[in-house]
Amino acid sequence: MAEDVMCAIVSGEIAAEVVLRTPEVVAFLDHRPVFKGHVLVCPTRHVADLTDLPDDLIGPLFAAARRIAQAIGPALGAQGSFVGINNVVSQSVPHLHVHVVPRTRGDGLRGFFWPRTKYAAGEQEAYGTLLREALAAAGRE
């Protein structure tokens, strides 16, 4: 696998403003933040996307994201945070990373970053069934 930007940051090849580092996770300021203080949290091992995240990294990755979210208020005066992951689509770097973005009421960010839609009659139940079946099948593998 060719080095990606996240792997280069992990190795120190590319400098970044690191705010947290453990053996499993590195968290650093996004160089193009939604709001100042926007942090990216990623595994130190190369993981392409959420579906490739090994079970042994789930805890460390999300514990680090939670720690960053807890620190944003006291550190930056934020009232809360947006925590999210783009998975393949809109994932600008092919290395899993969690966005932790400081938020305050009236900051101009409205809802989600993508348009909303509505289910037609019966469609919500159909989607629910499809997802439950896929989850059940995956549990049997």
H or E element, residue 44: none
Region 111-138: what's the mean pLDDT?
Answer: 73
pLDDT band at 111 (very low <50, low <70, confident <90, very high): low
Adjacency order of strands within the sheet including 25-29: 18-21, 25-29, 39-43, 98-103, 80-84
Instruction: Give pairs for 28-37: CB < 8 Å, separation 24+.
Output: 30/99, 33/101, 34/82, 34/99, 34/101, 34/109, 35/101, 35/102, 35/103, 35/107, 35/109, 36/76, 36/102, 37/72, 37/75, 37/76, 37/78, 37/101, 37/102
pLDDT in tens, 1-22: 445 899 999 999 999 999 999 9
What is the predicted pLDDT for the residue at 2? 46
The catalytic residues are: 97
Give the residue extent of every domain in the chain: 5-115
In DSSP terms, 100 is beta-bridged to 39, 83
The neighbour count for residue 25, using CB atoms within 10 Å, is: 22
Return the CATH number of the domain spanning residue range 5-115. 3.30.428.10
The neighbour count for residue 31, using CB atoms within 10 Å, is: 11
SS3 at position 28: strand
pLDDT in tens, 20-78: 999 999 999 998 888 899 999 999 999 999 999 999 999 999 999 999 999 999 999 89
